[in-house]
Structure 1
Amino acid sequence: MHPFARLLEIAERSRRNASALPQQVEVVTYWRGVGFMLAGQNFVADMTEVSEILQPPRLTKVPGVRSWVLGVANVRGRLVPVMDLAGLLGLPSKANWRSRRVLVVEQDDHLTGLLVDAVLGMQQFAVDRAVRVESLDPAFARYVEHGFERDGRDWPVFQLRELIRAPEFLQIAV
């Protein structure tokens, strides 16, 4: 057999036995957050805004503060003020004490605990599924600019750092 014919035969055999090229997969970018429930509504907060999730700690009451300031807790040697987020927004809580959790938000060097009705774990949304949240209680509207849609359900993004910077949040004295 001629050497060139032999090379053609090897090339043909290689094409027949070659594996298919991998399919081109569409790259999807995801946004991740911590899901939580507040006053019967599901929300999600940016993962970068929540430094820790705690069971409600033992609290020491602080005199002369608003009713939504639950007290301060010692969390690994650091004092953390704990606020009832539903109470701050003037909404009733719809959960029992066992399901409630504290989202710890770190702003600069200060920690703040926000009591929510329940934590729904890490949530992941395709970035292209961002939606404008229309039907939302006015108490939340100031802290929600957009959300994500998944499985026919909207998940508003609650901006915890905006809440902590808000003047009404900073005015805790009665």
Structure 2
Amino acid sequence: MTMSDQTPIALLRDLESRVRSTAVGLPEQEEATETFSGIGFRIGDFHFVSPMSEVTELLRVPNFTRLPNVKPWVLGVSNIRGRLIPIIDLNAFFNYESSTPIRSRRILVIEQNEQSDGLVVDGVEGMQYFAADSFDPTVPDLPEGLKPFVTGHFVKDKRIWSRFSMISLSDHEQFQDVAV
């Protein structure tokens, strides 16, 4: 049978067969891995990450007014865009000494149960991304006061990032008890 004797369908099938036999394989489809993203921050030499949904704002430490009869870790209150927000020194709350001057530190603003708090941390490490399946639910070696607020950790570039729950902190009885 000559080429002119073949039907158009037979010609197309023959062409497809020859193309498939010489075609380079398509790349394998990679499955998209689920990620955890959060705000990275430091308290001393310890690195933490909190879910994006738990931190509403990042700020430089604003001017604040000291308050009488409050625990030493409550630095005062600040007017931030018309809202009075308590300024809490997390290092002092956790009895952990900070070597970073207060004006060089940063604030994570959290909102829980219609209450906003400004949490002073030693530094903000920006957005952090981790493969969700790399989460380890064990609490790493941390000072005892921090452990109740840590739900596990990630490891990235040989650094341990403890997953910190702002909700647990905000709901904690000791955090709510600010009066002396």
Which protein is bigger by CA-based radius of gyration? 2
Q: Secondary structure at the match of 1:142?
A: helix
Query: Where does 1:1-174 land on structure 2 (aligned, <5 Å)?
Result: 1-4=4-7, 5-15=10-20, 20-131=25-136, 132-174=138-180
Measured against aligned partners, the alpha-carbon deviations of 1:73-102 in whole angstroms (never above 9, x if no partner) come to: 111111111100010111111323343100
Normalised by the length of structure 2, the TM-score is 0.89
**Which of 1-10 and 159-168 deviates more?**
1-10
Q: Structure 1 length as normaliser, TM-score?
A: 0.91
- Please report how far the alpha carbon of residue 22 of structure 1 lies from its aligned counterpart in structure 2 after TM superposition: 3.7
Partner Cα separation in structure 2 for residue 104 and residue 12 of structure 1: 63
Secondary structure at the aligned position of 1:12 is classed as helix
Q: Is the 8 A contact 2:64 2:77 kept in 1?
A: yes
Question: Structure 1 segments of 4 or more deviating over 4 A?
Answer: 16-19
- Are the aligned partners of 2:140 and 2:162 in contact in 1 as well (CA < 8 Å)? no
Could you tell me which runs of 5 or more consecutive residues in structure 1 were left unpaired when the two chains were aligned: none
Q: Contact between 2:140 and 2:153, CA under 8 Å: does it hold in 1?
A: no
Give the count of matched residue pairs: 174
Contact 1:133 1:154 in 2 (8 A): no
Deviation sequence 1:92-138 (CA, Å, 0-9, x none): 11323343100000112221110000000000111111122331111
Q: Give the deviation of 1:18 after TM superposition.
A: 5.3
CA-CA distance at 1:19 after TM superposition: 6.3
Quote the RMSD (CA, aligned, Å): 1.7
Tell which deviates more after alignment, 138-147 or 94-103: 94-103
The answer on whether the counterparts of 1:129 and 1:150 sit within 8 Å (CA) in structure 2 is no
